[in-house]
Chains A and B, each alone.
Chain A
Amino acid sequence: MSPRFKPGDAVTVRRAYPPGHLRTPHFIRGKAGMVERLCGNFPNPEELAYGRNGLPALPLYRVRFVQRQVWPDYAGAPGDTVDIEIYEHWLEPAAGETSHA
């Protein structure tokens, strides 16, 4: 799969709670961040966990989030960040970038 996003793109993590083996932490669902880098394509762990081959491989990104936007009462500096690896199917363009509703 060719990647949908590139470094610097504003993205939002889907706010979804499907059952199964997921590698998208709960605390980051629904949060907006910026693509830090594309890590390459990797088999889907949500499929691998159940003995399937996880293909086609999905683009995996490192997404950077501003801590104060992740935790409203975050006590550290305004520039503090958390970078998280997220597979492409969990990401959407940040609100305002597209008009599909």
Chain B
Amino acid sequence: MHDDHPHSHDHRPDQDRPLSDHQLMEIAVRELLIEKRILTADDVRRAVEAMDARSPALGAQVVARAWTDPAFKARLLANGTAACEELGIAMGPTKLVVVESTPEVHNLIVCTLCSCYPRMLLGLPPDWYKSRAYRARAVREPRAVLSEFGTELADDVTVRVHDSTADMRYLVLPLRPPGTDGWSEERLAGLVTRDSMVGVSVPQAA
């Protein structure tokens, strides 16, 4: 808290450090692509804008459909990419694997090597997902990590961690909460959070 502010937020220090090698390389490649007329600056801006516009609402729409349409759910589990495209979601080159949580099995997603994430469905990953602590501990002690996210699992629930090390991207299909019989797809989608699709939490109806 800063007393001289009427509102509270974290103050990040200005980034006055020199550019890193990778930042310099990105600028150099981008400027060359523009100079050689392969891309325009506006193409680059549009791509960033389109990626920033993606949000977990897309994933929530997929989950809510799977909860209400068993045939869609079967297709989603068999081929995640094709099923999302059915709903009009552009998946690009993403190969999506959807893992279903049940009363017996809880799924958790991590990328131990970097920060692979189903951006086409969830937008940009949260900072914690990219942290070394999450990446190391989600595989090593997933139940402790879940507990820190407020998710306590019974000992007889199996925890399946999925390490996104290569070409697949993962989405958790969470367990539909009890007490939601007869809910519309739209209302159900409102229960589905980003964290529940990564598997660090579970959707709740209350």
Contact = CB atoms under 8 A, between A and B. Distances in A.
B160 A83 contact: yes
B158 A80 contact: yes
Contacts of B167: 39-40, 42, 60, 85
Interface string A57-95: 000101000010011001111011111111100000000
Given A39-B95, A71-B140, A77-B156, A85 B168 contact: yes
Contact of A39 (B141, B155, B160, B168): B168
Nearest to A81: B160
Contacts of A39: 95, 97, 166-168
A87 B163 CA distance: 14
Contacts of B112: 25, 27
Identify whether the interface residues of B are mostly helix, strand, loop, or mixed. mixed
Contact of A80 (B95, B113, B159, B164): B159
Interface string B140-156: 11111000000000011
* Interface range for B: 20 to 34
Contacts of B166: 23, 39, 42, 45, 60, 85-87
Interface string B91-123: 000010100000000000000110000000000
Contact of B95 (A25, A40, A67, A70): A40
A41 B25 CA distance: 30
Contacts of B184: none
B165 interface: yes
7 contacts: A27-B112, A77-B156, A80-B142, A80-B158, A83-B162, A84-B163, A85-B164
Interface of A: 23-25, 27, 39-40, 42, 45, 60, 62, 67, 70-71, 74-77, 79-87
